[in-house]
């Protein structure tokens, strides 16, 4: 049987009434979870795994339910990013940069409609790639060792100045602060605790979700308390979603580029949707240069990261299914689910469990169509949140943040950490230092250090291993070119201002 025959057989599995119902339930629940600030696909999938076991779902049905939740969360994360300037999860951070300014300009419905289409296209492209090009992409991913991964993260930080429209220097200061925070916890090699100050809660490092909610949600509430309460968001006008649908045609090249970048990032184990969203946004901003209005409400600044993070979500399934290596935190949870059901992902999975694998692939196509149909009619409902008075909305956001963070580990320490990061975010924003690079440094710093230490262990301390392969050299050359281009651009802007 060829790929088309397998896919047809997969649709026969996915179109069974039980599987269709589970896909719809998963998409709906996932969208709601993704829209809640501080939650995300990792928590959404983790919360529903006990439900899958309690209902006695067989592996195919359980995987369809949880992957539908996964995709739904990736869709839903954009809602609070655009409406409240609070990302629903890490990959949705980049959407806040242009999505929220569009909402402030009365184009919230347009931003939500455009993001829904970009998410759909990115996810569909990733699913097609999963179907047709998985063997080739897996071979490329296998070539990446610790040194190549380190070079990839260097590339990410070399382009950190392109994330925001503010000062190039302040962006790097914020990224350095994030890297510093990323060293908190147990040393990955020597197992010595670092900067924990005797608190056992910090042995596993700083929880990304806690930091994210504090830096965005709590700091936003603190800034609101400082502002005049009479200037509520009720004055913002909500636009129609139809312009966003039409705008998606003009943004088609952006969506295509973001999807490809995100998919490649997702296929690389450990890179994930955060890096895919980040690179899609930065490279698109570099592509347009001064012709764009990135950071102040450019639709392409919404389309690129949304296509990137949803494509990365699909790409992350390739190493999980083909190699048994999770490509992201969520696929690690899915891997744990399969292992608990005595199913071992790997090269033999496609031969031993064809119904499950191809049924899942077909369910991804169906689930993405469900999500598009579900999200477009509800765009107006989501956008109506913008009309709620700030004095009502902000306490609700604070309540959701506190309840969501406490429910993660039932820990009061997490609440104190969230408040601490809220104060930090407030101070950074008062000093006009962007908070997005702080979170990116915290997210990517741990993996960057881990791969550096692994490379050093393999080479016996020889630093030349970091640039010993053609892949590493190519990535470093690209990073240097982008860094020099960013510095040159900053100098040109400075001279113009003078």
At 213-239, the pLDDT tens digits run 788 778 878 887 776 554 444 444 545
DSSP 262-273: HHHHHHSTTTHH
Classified as helix, coil or strand, 69 is helix
| Average pLDDT over every residue of 6-25 | 87
| Average pLDDT over every residue of 476-488 | 77
Report whether pLDDT(438) > 50.
yes
Where is mean pLDDT largest: 101-105, 265-269, 418-422?
Answer: 418-422
CA distance 40 to 379: 19
Report the largest interatomic distance among the alpha carbons of the chain, rounded to a whole angstrom: 69
Report whether pLDDT(134) > 70.
no
CA distance 93 to 210: 14
The residue with greater pLDDT, 28 or 337, is: 28
| Average pLDDT over every residue of 105-133 | 84
Count Cβ neighbours within 10 Å for each residue of 91-112 and write b for 16 or more, e otherwise.
bbbbbbbbbbbbbbeebbbbbb
- Please give the backbone phi and psi of residue 345, each rounded to the nearest 5 degrees, phi first: -65, 150
Please tell me the pTM assigned to this model. Answer: 0.66
Average model confidence (pLDDT) for the chain? 77
Per-residue tokens: 419 = 């408040």
- The number of helices, as runs of H, and strands, as runs of E, in the chain is 23, 2
356-401 pLDDT, tens digit per residue, is 888 888 888 998 888 888 877 776 665 555 456 666 766 776 777 7
Output the CA–CA distances (angstroms, integers) from residue 433 to 198, 277, 427, in the order listed.
30, 21, 9
Count Cβ neighbours within 10 Å for each residue of 260-297 and write b for 16 or more, e otherwise.
bbbbbbbbbbbbbbbbbbbbbbbbbbbeeeeebebbeb
């Amino acid at each position: 049987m060829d790929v088309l025959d397998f896919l047809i057989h997969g649709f026969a599995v996915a179109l069974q009434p039980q599987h269709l119902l589970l896909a719809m339930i998963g998409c709906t629940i996932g969208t709601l979870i993704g829209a809640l600030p501080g939650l995300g696909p990792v928590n959404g999938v983790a919360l529903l795994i006990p439900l899958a076991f309690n209902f006695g779902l067989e592996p195919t049905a359980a995987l369809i339910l949880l992957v539908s939740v996964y995709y739904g969360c990736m869709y839903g994360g954009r809602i609070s990013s655009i409406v409240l300037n609070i990302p629903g999860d890490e990959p949705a951070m980049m959407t806040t940069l242009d999505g929220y300014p569009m909402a402030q300009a009365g184009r919230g419905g347009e931003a939500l409609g455009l993001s829904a289409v970009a998410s759909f296209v990115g996810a569909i492209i990733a699913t097609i790639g999963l179907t047709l090009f998985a063997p080739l992409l897996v071979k490329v991913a296998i070539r990446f060792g610790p040194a190549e991964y380190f070079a990839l993260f260097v590339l990410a930080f070399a382009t950190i100045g392109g994330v925001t429209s503010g000062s190039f220097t302040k962006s790097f200061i914020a990224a350095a602060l994030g890297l510093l925070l990323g060293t908190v916890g147990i040393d990955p090699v020597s197992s010595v605790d670092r900067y924990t100050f005797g608190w056992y809660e910090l042995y596993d490092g700083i929880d990304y979700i806690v930091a994210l909610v504090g830096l965005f949600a709590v700091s936003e509430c603190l800034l609101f308390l400082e502002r005049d309460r009479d200037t509520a968001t009720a004055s913002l006008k909500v636009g129609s979603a139809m312009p966003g649908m039409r705008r998606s045609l003009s943004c088609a090249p952006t969506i295509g580029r973001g999807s490809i970048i995100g998919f490649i990032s997702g296929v690389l184990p450990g890179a994930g949707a955060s890096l895919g969203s980040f690179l899609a946004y930065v490279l698109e901003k570099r592509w347009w240069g001064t012709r764009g209005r990135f950071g102040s409400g450019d639709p392409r600044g919404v389309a690129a990261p949304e296509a990137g993070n949803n494509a990365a979500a699909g790409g992350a399934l390739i190493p999980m299914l083909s190699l048994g290596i999770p490509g992201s935190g969520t696929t690690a949870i899915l891997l744990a689910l399969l292992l608990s059901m005595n199913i071992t992902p790997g090269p033999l999975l496609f031969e031993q469990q064809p119904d499950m694998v191809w049924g899942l692939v077909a369910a991804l196509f169906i689930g993405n169509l469900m999500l598009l149909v579900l999200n477009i009619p509800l765009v107006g409902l989501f956008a109506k949140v913008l009309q709620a008075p700030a004095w009502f909305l902000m306490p609700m956001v604070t309540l959701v943040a506190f309840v969501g963070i406490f429910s993660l580990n039932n820990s009061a320490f997490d609440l104190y950490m969230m408040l601490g990061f809220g104060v930090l975010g407030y101070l950074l924003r008062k000093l006009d230092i962007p908070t997005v690079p702080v979170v990116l440094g915290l997210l990517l710093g741990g993996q960057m250090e881990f791969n550096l230490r692994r490379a050093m262990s393999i080479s016996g301390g020889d630093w030349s291993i970091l640039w010993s392969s053609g892949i590493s050299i190519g990535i470093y050359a690209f990073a240097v070119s982008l860094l020099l281009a960013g510095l040159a651009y900053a100098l040109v802007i400075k001279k113009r201002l003078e």
